[in-house]
Amino acid sequence: MKVARWALVIAIGVGAVLLTLAALGSRSPVLRKKLVETLAQRLDADVELQSLHATAFPALSITGDGLKVRMKGQAEGAPLIDVAHFEVSAGFSGLFHRPRRFHLVHLEGLRITIPPDTDHDEDDKDKSSAPNPGPIIIDRLESTDAELVIVPSKPDKDPRVFEIHELHMQSVGFDRSMPFEATLTNPIPKGQIQTTGSFGPWRATDPGKTPLSGRYEFTNADLGTIKGIGGILSSVGDFAGQLERIDVRGTTKTPDFSVDVSGQPVPLETTFHAIVDGTNGDTYLQPVDGQFLSTKLTAKGGIYGTKNVKGRTIDLDVVMQQGKLEDVLKLAVKSAKPVMTGAITLTTKLLIPPGDAKVPDKMRLDGHFSISHAHFTDRGVQEKLATLSRRSRGKKKDEPAPGAAEIHSEMKGRFVMRDGVVRFNPLIFDVPGAVVTLAGSYTLRGGALDFAGTFAMDATISNAVESGWARILLKPFDPLFKRNNAGAVLPIKITGTREDPQFGVDIGKALRRK
């Protein structure tokens, strides 16, 4: 009988709770008011809720629409939190604990807008750095098709928008660090990002100071969504910091990176350290170490946006120490084999502005380079170079001179690239016995050449020919092309294309000079 009485008491108690919760379903304005007051207190914000409905059978369930949370005193702009629809489920035992626990909260149409950093007094900073225990804990939170919008502190910057397709969080509360998993698609380059980490505690008076950390994996990113380049990129890394300043370290691999002017894929790998400014999405690279084939380079700089301009600007300082010329030519020239081999050193400013043009057509370069121990891969060209070197030094056929395999060239110059055209001034090409100094342009698409300059050699005009009669006939012309009591200087021009170059001596220019 004693057991029966206890069973009856428990049954009556549970029944009373169920009846009370069921009654809340018909008194949703009361429940809605309580929920609005609780959220407003915990978030230190103004809260709106369009509708709310609660049922107790067969399980406790709460649904609502049109939840908006605004910062205190925020009259304009998007709300801090905007939820189109939400569903909440809870066990009855969790409602009698402190803090109260809910099993699951499902959100649809979640949009979080992080406002720019603002000045706060010391009291606000103290409150934001020491969150109070919350009255509610959510065991699991799920969200579909969410957006995170970060409003920049500078008015000339566009907001940064992240589309989050799936979001799962555990042990959700305002006073704690909350584990999360998220899946999102990066638009450019297009690919899937999987990330896990922790978020919080929530800084009510300064959301940009809310801490976060974790790890990400970026897979199957199609670089073809960036006009002018190609390849499938993957990246892994770690991040930590606050919403307004995130420290990111990671690596990337692109086994088939290519530029459309050559269309030849090369393996590209990078290791990077970046600081992401969450208030505007700007990224500061410090530095990026990259390698393609056997060539290494280092880049420092930033990736930033401009107000009312679609896309972002890439602004980098690039240094290449002792790279391989054949690696660079494979990226830049459409050819089955590189024209030359050698060692290259390069320093340049690289700027890629936003816009619809392909990367090679809008990319801007401004720098200088040097090439050592250059060797032409075409044997015929190399033999002609050996002949040129021998004649430039006044050597006859029967006199000993380096052969084609022993002749190496040196090259250096300054260059500027705009609109797919590279302009050199000067471009200096040096072989034993001769120096070619040029100024002109080379077009990436089509390979058009337009250069003019001088060809200076150790020998005079007459000594540069091998025939004895020819030497006698050309002797009177030596003064016309002589330079400072030394060898000859010929004004030259190079036109045509990369596949069919045309070389000539500008006699008219030589006569005008005299």
Give the confidence band of 510 by pLDDT, cuts at 50, 70, 90: low
Length of the chain, in residues: 514
Higher-confidence position of 276 and 150: 276
Report how far residue 18's alpha carbon sits from residue 234's, in angstroms, rounded to the nearest whole number: 53
Strand blocks (E) in 223-336: 229-230, 232-242, 245-259, 266-276, 283-292, 295-305, 312-324
pLDDT in tens, 92-111: 554 555 566 778 888 898 88
pLDDT in tens, 411-420: 999 999 999 9
pTM: 0.74
> Over 90: is that where the pLDDT of 427 sits?
yes
Mean predicted lDDT score pLDDT of the chain: 79
Higher-confidence position of 31 and 97: 31
The answer for residues whose C-beta is within 8 angstroms of residue 22's C-beta and 6 or more apart is 55, 56, 57
At 409 the pLDDT is 87
Higher-confidence position of 243 and 87: 87
Report how far residue 299's alpha carbon sits from residue 287's, in angstroms, rounded to the nearest whole number: 6
Inter-residue contact 481 to 492 (CB < 8 Å): no
At 398 the pLDDT is 62
> Over 70: is that where the pLDDT of 68 sits?
yes
Higher-confidence position of 341 and 387: 341
Report how far residue 27's alpha carbon sits from residue 16's, in angstroms, rounded to the nearest whole number: 16
> Over 90: is that where the pLDDT of 451 sits?
yes
Q: In angstroms, how far is CA 149 from the centroid of its own chain?
A: 19
At 144 the pLDDT is 85
At 232 the pLDDT is 93
> Over 90: is that where the pLDDT of 73 sits?
no
Coil, helix or strand for 505?
A: strand
Question: How is residue 270 written in tokens?
Answer: 């990078």
Give the confidence band of 342 by pLDDT, cuts at 50, 70, 90: very high
Residues 440-455 have a mean pLDDT of 90
Q: Which of 430, 401, 254, 415 is nearest to 342 (CA)?
A: 430
Side-chain half-sphere exposure of 313, counting CA atoms within 13 A: 13
Please tell me the least confidently modeled range out of 110-114, 128-132, 355-359, 483-487: 128-132
Higher-confidence position of 34 and 422: 422
> Over 70: is that where the pLDDT of 404 sits?
no
At 119 the pLDDT is 47
Question: How is residue 217 written in tokens?
Answer: 């994996």
At 470 the pLDDT is 62
> Over 70: is that where the pLDDT of 121 sits?
no
Fill in the DSSP letter of residue 398: T
b/e per residue 433-470 (b: at least 16 CB within 10 A): bbbbbbebbbbbeebebebebbbbbbbbbbbbbbeeee
Give the confidence band of 489 by pLDDT, cuts at 50, 70, 90: confident
> Over 70: is that where the pLDDT of 471 sits?
no
